Structure 1
Amino acid sequence: MRSHGTRRSFLKGFAGFSSAVLLHACTSANSRSTSGANENSEPIKVGLNVGNIPWEFRTETGELVGFEVDLLQEVGKRLERAVEFVDTPFTALFPAVLSSRIHAAVSSITITTERLKTLDFAQPYYDSDQSLTVRTDRGIQSLADLRNKIVAVDSASTGDAWAQQHMEEYGFAEIVRYEGLVPAMADLESGQFDGYISDIPSLLYYTKDRASLQVVERIPTGEQYSIMFAKGSPLRDEMNAVITALKQDGTLAQIHQKWFGAAPESGTSTAEVRSLPRS
């Protein structure tokens, strides 16, 4: 799920989410982008974990929308190739890319040194951290209040790795794992565990209209999201060049404005061109 520039303050840039959500339906899962598509080119199969709000999720009418959906649709348009989205559990995205069942993957995937050993990434397009989300009626205000309590994470995520590394420090009684934010949030609300550690943009977005849930702590991890490819995929450089253009002409800033209600901060990887990540 590095040069990071100025870090966002805890809630900065998230005012206006309500006006952004569900304004634009982009596509449906396994549908293809048709604008400017070259019929003689093979569709780009992009794996994503549907339900990963606000990056890729379904509206009430079943349409697939989100920040990364918009990004990949624009990339496909400029490459004059159709984009075919393949709904895939997060942990299955990695073997799917490695085995070439899909050409690329997104799902707020963080660039890490370990992942770069076997996979390639385009330049980052979003800076992030982890966070702690709790029920508002439990009296939990920070990680320090989770001693002898159960925490949940997304399986095989950077939040999972962080929780394992800090389990002894904070005295977590147990770490439980989920495939996706929505089922984890349902169990948090029903009291199945005490706190949820996951990417802060998704949790701020999800909890903004839910009085029963609250993001109580940002966990600085200095993460950056990107598109993931198999090692040596020529598509990496093609897509990376388009991302550079999207940053330079302001299109990526417009996508950020749409989904987060504010322009990206200067100095972030959404606003500025970055080098390709190297192992």
Structure 2
Amino acid sequence: MKKKSTSSVALLAALASFGLPGAAAFADDHPQDQPLVVGSDFGVAPWMVRGAAGPEGFGVDLITAIAKKIGRPSVDVQDINFSGLFAALFSKRIEFTVNPLNITQERSEKMLYTEPFFATGNGFLVRKGEKLESLDGLKGQVLAVNRGTISDTWATQNADKYGFEVQRYETFPDSVQAVITHRAFTALNEIPTTVYAASKNPAIEVGFKDFNGRNFGYAFRYGDEAYRDKVESAIECLKQDGTLAQLYEKWYGEKAAEGTALTTVYAGYGAPGFKGYDDKPHDLACN
């Protein structure tokens, strides 16, 4: 964490006295002796799924490791459909999001991001044996998406360009089922999610991968910069000591590529090039 000057401490106290984000908000919203309360859609394997003993997956292992780094006693992951996730964040039902959330300019106007820690793109699932060799193959087809996701945004923006119809579902498994039952030709989601889904279901395969430079990050409320920085420092330490790469290999079955967001520690705090980014350098203090 960055050291605060005497004037900074006084400013935080003044902000707290007016009910604005500051020291009091930090303590009230993130009680150090209580479980870390975060939110994610449980329907995105292998990021986070409901297991016999509770949620499990890459995202669970990651936030558990982060909680340990920042000194929280445990983690309480709330299962929230993606369409309701941001409302849960802004109403303070959760402290921050831990779902596979794309960093976008539009979202950064409303939410405060950590630095990127996972690279992704568009993955198109089709029935086993079907062919989709390019985006042009979507013409005249029905494409299923998880409502409110970046995949939904991409589909909405590109439906006319490529000539396909969009069907929206509340969960990713529902969109996959639409493909299997011939209600849709393809289901669109993040590349790692579709690769994993295809490895577990012989009825589907990844028809096409569109790597486009997107990255995932956690999202916080504006005014929560101090806690965002604390969590991001933990993420950076997990990159530095190789934990993040190990978790990726454990859950996705392949080694993390060097030079991607899985292994790169970025200067400053937040997502470079997006609103909320603080470019001031800082030293890591990993334990």
Could you say which TM-score interval applies, normalised by the shorter chain?
Answer: 0.7 to 0.9
**What is the CA-CA distance between 1:40 and the residue it aligns to?**
6.0
1:112 aligned residue (93, 104, 109): 104
Q: What amino acid sits opposite 1:107 in the alignment?
A: N
Distance 1:164 1:144 in 2: 16
1:191 aligns to 2:202 (yes or no): no
Q: Is the 8 A contact 2:130 2:207 kept in 1?
A: no
Q: How far apart, in 2, do the equivalents of 1:182 and 1:72 lie?
A: 23
What residue ranges of structure 2 are gaps of 5+ in the alignment? 1-30, 276-287
Which position in structure 2 is the counterpart of 1:79?
A: 70
Which residue of structure 1 aligns with residue 85 of structure 2? 93
Q: How big is the shift at 1:221? A: 2.6
In structure 2, the partner of 1:258 is: 250
Are 1:134 and 2:126 matched, yes or no? Answer: yes
Higher helix fraction: Structure 1 or Structure 2?
2
Tell me which of 231, 241, 245 is aligned to 1:239. 231
1:203 corresponds to = 194
- Measure, in 2, the Cα distance between the counterparts of 1:169 and 1:220: 19
Deviation track 1:166-201 (CA, whole Å, cap 9, x = no partner) reads: 1122111x2111122111112211111111111110
**How many residues are paired up?**
239
CA shift at 1:262, angstroms? Answer: 2.8
Q: 1:170 to 1:76 in 2, by over 3 A?
A: same
- Which of 231, 242, 249 is the aligned partner of 2:241? 249
Where in structure 2 are the equivalents of 1:21-32 lying within 5 Å?
none
Displacement after TM superposition at 1:102 (Å) = 0.7
Q: Shift of residue 237 of structure 1?
A: 0.9
Of all paired residues, the percent bearing the same amino acid is 30
- The equivalent residue for 1:161 is 153
Aligned: 1:53 with 2:84:
no
**CA deviation string 1:207-227 (max 9, x = no partner):** 114332111111233111111
Q: Contact 2:128–2:203 (CA<8 Å) still a contact in 1?
A: yes
Matched position secondary structure for 2:88: helix
TM-score, with structure 2 as normaliser: 0.79
Tell me if 1:146 matches 2:176: no
- AA matched with 2:49: F
1:229 and 2:220 equivalent?
A: yes
Equivalent of 1:180 in 141, 146, 171: 171
Encode CA deviations 1:98-148: one digit per residue, 9 max, x unaligned: 121110112110111011101011111100001111112445444323222
Give 2:108's aligned amino acid.
L
Over the aligned positions, Cα root-mean-square deviation in angstroms equals 1.7
Q: Match of 1:230, as an amino acid? A: R
User: Is 1:215 the equivalent of 2:206?
Assistant: yes
Give 4+ residue runs of structure 1 displaced > 6 Å after superposition: none
CA distance in 2, matches of 1:272, 1:257: 16
- The structure-2 alpha-carbon separation of the partners of 1:137 and 1:253, relative to structure 1 and needing over 3 Å to count, comes to closer
Does residue 63 of structure 1 match 2:69?
A: no
Q: Residues 272 and 213 from structure 1, CA distance in 2 versus in 1: closer, same or farther, beyond 3 angstroms? A: same
Q: What amino acid is the match of 1:105?
A: T
Confirm or deny: 8 A CA contact 1:104 1:230 kept in the other structure: yes
How far apart are residue 68 of structure 1 and its match?
A: 1.0
SS in 2 for 1:166: helix
Looking at structure 2, the residues matched to 103 and 218 of structure 1 have their Cα atoms a distance apart, in angstroms, of 33
8 A contact 2:132–2:208 mirrored in 1: no
